[in-house]
Structure 1
Amino acid sequence: MKHSTTNPSFLQIIRIIWSWKMLVMFFFGFSSGFPYYIIKDVLKFWMMDAGVDIAKIGLFALVGMPYTLKFVWSPMMDGFVPPFLGRRRGWILMAQIGLMITIALLGQFDPTQSLVWIAVFALCLNFFGASQDIALDAFRREYLTSNELGFGTGVWMNAWRLGTFVSVGLSVLADFNFTWQTIFLMLTAVMGVGVITTLLVPEPVVEERLPLNMKEVIIEPFVEFFQRRSAILIIFFILLYKMGDNMASAMAIPYIVQMEFTKAQYFVIVKGVGMLGLFGGVLIGGSIMIRLGIAKSLYIFGILQAVSTAFFPVLNMIDHGSNFWIEHSQKLLGGIVAFEFFATGLGQAAYATYMAIQTNKRFTATQYALLTSLMGVPGVFAAASTGYMSKYLGWNGFYYFCALIAIPGLVLLFKIAPWNASNEELEQGR
């Protein structure tokens, strides 16, 4: 493998950061995150206000399945070009219109009378939301160059979280005598941000020949990926790189509560300071990737993720009856959480960017949907064991284990992303 030593100049970095493309990433990232929490949180607030049984509310978690299974219908979005706007923008617009119609209609039902219909429309909303994500992820990969992709992903992730905050934030209006029907119409209107962006942005130019038949649409994306020399190693890397970080995050609430912090302190420090750290991490991580490239960033950010996790036992080592703990415990938690979330943001930016460049632009939607589905596997299965692990290893042992389990993912980088590899050399597992 040849290695590139040229890096973008400071002026080129500034041009990337302040380009119109990054504004497009912001609006599309917002549009991606906005509908996700309408079902995840807003719907629950609505049903709680209506006095729906808590057991029935819990069953609504099942309507989130489209986001898990989106790779099933993603080939359709690679192989069939809508008769308007182009391959990516056409599918994006159809999904957004579907979202607007579904959100508007969903709010017109009465949770006490029409729970089945609400479940049907909630499932449809998540289907359109997942479909929008498939097309938007493919658009981002094809719209940005490899040098732009890291920072663009950082902008996207922050805008995604802002979108979730806005959708949940609008539900607060129910406490100020706004009807839920009105709130859902307001949610519908906010989706107009994405529609306007879709209509104004140009269609990405893809030089590769597009799939022509069902075989190329459904089978070739998987055949093309797994024929690569390092395909299996790439899969293992995707499964392992964030595993320790995900496991540590899964037990954050029980650990912080056992360290005798209150729920209010948890909310302010973790959801406040932590989120600011995460926002900073993904943006700074994206900026660093422009200069250092994706390969070097994966090494550095992966190490920082592991180190930040290893700091959590400090809270358990200090005497909780000491004057130092009484005076400085909240500052200590804030510092550890800020560092951990910042490192997580750095790692997320590099991780998502690496997955994006592993997709062939002929099959971007299918391959990216497959890789992001794999990304979620450790979060489910590894996190499920964290309660037993923390019980039998103790908190210190558990967090040290989470830090050490980052090593296999880092070791794989020597094979799939050598230190001096350029972004172009990493593309599609070259």
Structure 2
Amino acid sequence: MARPLPQRIIRPSMRRIPLFADRRFLALLALGFSAGVPLPLVAGAVLRQWFSEAGVPLAQIGLTALIGLAYSLKFLWAPALDAVAPPFARSGRRRGWMLVILPLLMGLIVLTGLGDPAAAPLQVAALAAAVAFLSASQDIVVDAWRVEMLADEEQGYGLACYVWGYRGALLASGAGTLLLVQHLGWAGAYIYAASLLLVGLGAALIAPEGPAPALVPLRIGLPVAVAVLVGVALLFAAVLQAAEAVLPDGAGAAGALLDMLPWLLALLAIGLAAWAAHRALLRWRPGRDTPFTGMIDSLGAFLRRPLAIWILLFIALFKLGEALAGVMTNPFYRALGFSREEVAAVGSVFGLLAILGGALAGGWLVSRIGTGKALVITGLGQMLSNLMYVALAHAGHDVPMLWAQVGIENFTDGLADAAFVTYLSGLTMRAYTATQYALLSSLAAVPLRTLGASSGWLAERMGWADFFLLTTAAALPAMIIMAFLLWRLPPARAEQPA
């Protein structure tokens, strides 16, 4: 007779209710869906397809990569959502913030869709940047809610529900919006996409709250909360609109350098500030408990490890080639004459299936040959897959070649993602696992967003074939650093003691 499982493994709630019927997991499926809706609309394929069809210059389309900075930098204001109680605090801390963020998010998505990128592309991009800020804030709330509402042994299934909801939203908001444009127009399609967030609003009303926070939060009223969220969102929008000076249109070399001088000085100031922060973090010692203490402690601990700067440089550059190519994918397809429907069916639907298949194969590969070897193999595959863009550029409007390019490029990206995430997970210290992983993954994307903004300028001046050859070569520095790190810090010995 089989022995019963230990009592500590089977929680009472899990014995009474099947996992698929537990409202917490159904809520997480819906919250994941809500979190995934805005991304294609403001920082992905839908916005860039819209801009391409409106005849926006490639240099300006490239600048839309900056919109994604909100997702990369969200860890900076995440502690504030813990420290400040929402206006509807009586309904729960996480629920209260969702009830503020989601209506604002829906309204801004509608306003974005009512814009005209042919006449005012930067205004539309600025609204998209504001949407990205609120979307990233929603991600912060949903991630915290997921962790708080589930026990440790339920986190894996909860994360799976969230991820599948998120992936479903990428199809509904990405391919779904593109397919509806021919029937509803761009404004109607964006209104449809905004209505998808009603799923998240319903989930926010039924999802149970987790334990009360240890810190006593600062309480603010609804007008203040709305003013702060809208104000910061508009700040993101203003920064994006000001970035027009980075890539001047039609200016000579001297004029371009002159226009870029303030930005070069700003980058120098940021570099000096980063160096000063690095020195301060090396001297940081745990002190008074504040919402930022855990973040500073964990970052300081990471920077004290061997070769920390080289590790961060590798993380920042590993996806550089993919980032440069990805921003220009939809304008490239448009230039070759592929229709909106072909892009939706092949690029969005088939591309998503290919990347999911690649992630599964990548996980299997890591388990069979180890993280180090898998990182080398998948990194090379990710780099060489950009040559499929070159082949498509020479083939022209060739639908079978489009299927091949999308399938190979997305499958190899999924392979590389699995090995890269495993490598990042192995780098985190056990005492700071969650915070360090969040910081590494967020900080890694900042150079990709900023350098990716130059992709349109490069594509205009180099032509498509040479541009994609450059994106292939852009992966070489990361491969060299990876070889150095794997030699000095093999994955088996990379994890530091807690």
**TM-score of the pair, normalised by structure 1:** 0.62
Q: Which residue of 1 aligns with 2:420?
A: 351
Q: Report the CA distance between 1:343 and its aligned residue.
A: 0.6
Give, in whole Å, the separation in 1 of the partners of 2:75 and 2:188.
37
| CA gap 1:334/1:380 in 2 versus in 1, 3 angstroms | same
Superposed CA offset, 1:211-264 (max 9, x none) = 823672564343223222232122112112112222343454566677xx4222
Structure-to-structure mapping, 1:363-382, within 5 angstroms: 364=434, 368-369=438-439, 371-381=441-451
Q: Which residue of 1 aligns with 2:312?
A: 235
Q: Report the CA distance between 1:414 and its aligned residue.
A: 0.2
Structure 1: 5+ residue runs without aligned partners?
Answer: 1-17, 49-53, 84-88, 113-117, 204-208
Give, in whole Å, the separation in 2 of the partners of 1:272 and 1:344.
15
Give, in whole Å, the separation in 2 of the partners of 1:128 and 1:396.
33
Identify the match of residue 195 of structure 1 among 173, 197, 204: 204
Superposed CA offset, 1:177-217 (max 9, x none) = 998998588334211365268x35977xxxxx998236725
Q: Which residue of 2 aligns with 1:30?
A: 33
Give, in whole Å, the separation in 1 of the partners of 2:471 and 2:106.
45
Q: Which residue of 1 aligns with 2:71?
A: 67
Structure-to-structure mapping, 1:121-140, within 5 angstroms: 126-137=132-143
Give, in whole Å, the separation in 1 of the partners of 2:497 and 2:320.
21
Q: Which residue of 1 aligns with 2:270?
A: none
Q: Letter of the aligned partner of 1:345 in structure 2?
A: G
| CA gap 1:44/1:338 in 2 versus in 1, 3 angstroms | closer
Count of matched residue positions in the alignment of Structure 1 and Structure 2: 381
Q: Is the 8 A contact 1:282 1:345 kept in 2?
A: yes
Give, in whole Å, the separation in 1 of the partners of 2:126 and 2:465.
44
| CA gap 1:175/1:371 in 2 versus in 1, 3 angstroms | same
Give, in whole Å, the separation in 2 of the partners of 1:359 and 1:247.
31
Q: Report the CA distance between 1:96 and its aligned residue.
A: 2.4
Q: Which residue of 1 aligns with 2:301?
A: 224
Give, in whole Å, the separation in 2 of the partners of 1:330 and 1:108.
33
| CA gap 1:224/1:125 in 2 versus in 1, 3 angstroms | same
Superposed CA RMSD: 5.8
Q: Is the 8 A contact 1:301 1:347 kept in 2?
A: yes
Give, in whole Å, the separation in 2 of the partners of 1:354 and 1:63.
27
Give, in whole Å, the separation in 2 of the partners of 1:428 and 1:196.
42
Structure-to-structure mapping, 1:31-430, within 5 angstroms: 31-37=34-40, 66-76=70-80, 80=83, 92-103=94-105, 126-137=132-143, 159-167=165-173, 169=176, 172=180, 175=183, 183=192, 186-192=195-201, 194-195=203-204, 199-200=207-208, 212-213=289-290, 216-217=293-294, 219-252=296-329, 261-264=336-339, 267=343, 268-286=345-363, 288-289=365-366, 294-315=371-392, 329-355=398-424, 358=428, 364=434, 368-369=438-439, 371-381=441-451, 384=454, 386-387=458-459, 390-391=462-463, 394=466, 397-398=469-470, 400-402=472-474, 404-415=476-487, 418=490, 421=492
Give, in whole Å, the separation in 1 of the partners of 2:418 and 2:97.
26
Give, in whole Å, the separation in 2 of the partners of 1:108 and 1:254.
23
| CA gap 1:412/1:31 in 2 versus in 1, 3 angstroms | farther
Q: Letter of the aligned partner of 2:34 in structure 1?
A: S
| CA gap 1:25/1:427 in 2 versus in 1, 3 angstroms | farther
| CA gap 1:139/1:234 in 2 versus in 1, 3 angstroms | farther
| CA gap 1:379/1:408 in 2 versus in 1, 3 angstroms | farther
Q: Is the 8 A contact 2:30 2:165 kept in 1?
A: yes
Q: Relative contact order, CA 8 A, sep 6+: which one is greater? A: 1
| Structure 2 residue matching 1:263: 3-state secondary structure | coil
Superposed CA offset, 1:21-52 (max 9, x none) = 9988755542321233455689989x99xxxx
Q: Report the CA distance between 1:301 and its aligned residue.
A: 2.1
Identical aligned residues as a percent:
23
Q: Is the 8 A contact 1:141 1:364 kept in 2?
A: no
Identify the range of structure 1 (166-175 vs 128-137) with the bigger mean alpha-carbon deviation. Answer: 166-175
Q: Report the CA distance between 1:266 and its aligned residue.
A: 6.0
Q: Report the CA distance between 1:305 and its aligned residue.
A: 1.0
Q: Is the 8 A contact 2:311 2:485 kept in 1?
A: no
Give, in whole Å, the separation in 2 of the partners of 1:344 and 1:139.
29
Structure 2: 5+ residue runs without aligned partners?
Answer: 1-17, 116-123, 212-285
Q: Is the 8 A contact 1:237 1:409 kept in 2?
A: yes
Give, in whole Å, the separation in 1 of the partners of 2:390 and 2:305.
41
Superposed CA offset, 1:312-359 (max 9, x none) = 444567xx6xxxx99xx5434422331111111222344345445637
Identify the range of structure 1 (228-237 vs 92-101) with the bigger mean alpha-carbon deviation. Answer: 92-101
| CA gap 1:63/1:238 in 2 versus in 1, 3 angstroms | closer
Q: Letter of the aligned partner of 1:387 in structure 2?
A: A
Q: Which residue of 2 aligns with 1:13?
A: none
Give, in whole Å, the separation in 2 of the partners of 1:164 and 1:400.
26
Q: Is the 8 A contact 1:24 1:201 kept in 2?
A: no
Q: Is the 8 A contact 1:32 1:133 kept in 2?
A: yes
**TM-score of the pair, normalised by structure 2:** 0.55
| CA gap 1:91/1:215 in 2 versus in 1, 3 angstroms | same
Q: Letter of the aligned partner of 1:98 in structure 2?
A: V
| Structure 1 residue matching 2:386: 3-state secondary structure | helix
Q: Letter of the aligned partner of 2:410 in structure 1?
A: F
